[in-house]
């Protein structure tokens, strides 16, 4: 499991105009949307207009912030798509949300889940790998181009924070060592203390869902896992473009030529 909280240039195709600011922490937003059934009953022409307008808003913000789009059609029953936004300004998080919900499609959307977090250096990883030796000690997210993203909020039990620092470090060393054996899985760790309900929001990237499943199952036996209070809901997200994400909401079946 590779950590990708890193001060490095992110994919230009997704973040034109958005560049990391060395030493500055980022704001991170995971927003899950659900479309009302009534939207699918609209005329095709009207839905096409809605898709074009909503896509334009997403792409415009993608020129200023790091914005990634994902479909959850078929993987969750309570959410249809997710937008992952990274910015240095809280006003941007609010501004994009306002414009998306102000679009015509926004009138048919609800937000069943929404997580706000920030990047932060990890003392555990730094002590495990050595100062400056692991990208997880840095402050800028650098998402890859993997097909799948697995997202979930995490809150530790209060007893965890009462343990001596040395004991917590030993426990996390085991946790990190297990993750390191899964090189096909990249983790983006963000922190929500005081900003939102959970303490952390974790986003794992991989091209192999089975590898992530095996990682999570193995971590269940770690000491760290015994101090987990909540780590649900968990979302399996499929990478897409803004247009593709929205078209997956009501794909038409191709007629058979037989």
| pLDDT one-digit tens code per residue, 167-200 | 999 999 999 999 999 999 999 999 999 999 999 9
Residue 129 · residue 173 · CB < 8 Å: no
pLDDT digits 0-9 by tens, 41-51: 999 999 999 99
DSSP element (H, E) containing 39: helix 37-40
**23: Cβ–Cβ under 8 A, 6 or more apart, which residues?**
139
- Range 248-253 average pLDDT: 84
Checking if the pLDDT of 18 tops 60, the result is: yes
Say if residue 233 is preceded by a cis peptide, omega within 30 of 0. Answer: yes
Lowest-pLDDT range, 20-34, 107-121, 131-145, 160-174?
Answer: 131-145
| Distance (Å, whole) CA 236 – CA 70 | 9
What's the mean pLDDT when you consider all of the chain?
A: 89
Checking if the pLDDT of 222 tops 90, the result is: yes
**192: Cβ–Cβ under 8 A, 6 or more apart, which residues?**
115, 116, 117, 118, 153, 198, 199, 200, 201
| Distance (Å, whole) CA 183 – CA 174 | 16
Checking if the pLDDT of 215 tops 60, the result is: yes
Supply the pLDDT for residue 17: 72
> Quick one: tokens of 242?
């803004």
Tell me, yes or no, if the pTM score tops 0.95. Answer: no
Domains of the chain as residue ranges with CATH:
12-117 (3.30.70.1030), 120-238 (3.30.70.1030)
Residue 140 · residue 119 · CB < 8 Å: yes
Answer with the residue of higher pLDDT: 184 or 15.
Answer: 184
């Amino acid at each position: 499991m590779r950590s990708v909280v890193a001060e490095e240039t992110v994919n230009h195709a997704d973040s034109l105009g958005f560049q990391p600011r060395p030493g500055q922490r980022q704001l991170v937003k995971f927003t899950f949307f659900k479309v009302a059934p009534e939207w699918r009953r609209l005329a095709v022409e009207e839905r096409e207009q809605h898709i074009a307008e909503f896509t334009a808003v997403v792409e415009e913000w993608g020129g200023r912030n790091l914005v990634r789009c994902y479909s959850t059609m078929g993987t969750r029953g309570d959410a249809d798509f997710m937008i992952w936004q990274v910015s240095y300004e809280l006003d941007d998080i609010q501004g994009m949300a306002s414009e998306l919900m102000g679009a015509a499609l926004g009138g048919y959307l609800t937000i069943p889940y929404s997580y706000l977090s920030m990047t932060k250096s990890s003392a555990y990883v730094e002590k495990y790998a050595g100062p400056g030796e692991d990208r997880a000690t840095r402050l800028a997210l650098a998402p890859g181009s993997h097909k799948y993203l697995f997202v979930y909020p995490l809150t530790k039990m209060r007893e965890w924070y009462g343990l001596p620092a040395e004991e917590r470090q030993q426990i996390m060393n085991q946790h990190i060592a297990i993750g390191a054996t899964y090189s096909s899985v990249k983790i983006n760790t963000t922190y929500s203390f005081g900003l939102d309900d959970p303490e952390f929001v974790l986003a794992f990237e991989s091209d192999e869902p089975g590898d992530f499943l095996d990682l999570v199952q193995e971590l269940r036996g770690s000491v760290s896992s015994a101090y987990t209070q909540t780590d649900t809901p968990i979302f399996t997200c499929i990478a897409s473009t803004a247009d593709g994400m929205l078209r997956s909401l009501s794909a038409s079946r191709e007629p058979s030529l037989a």
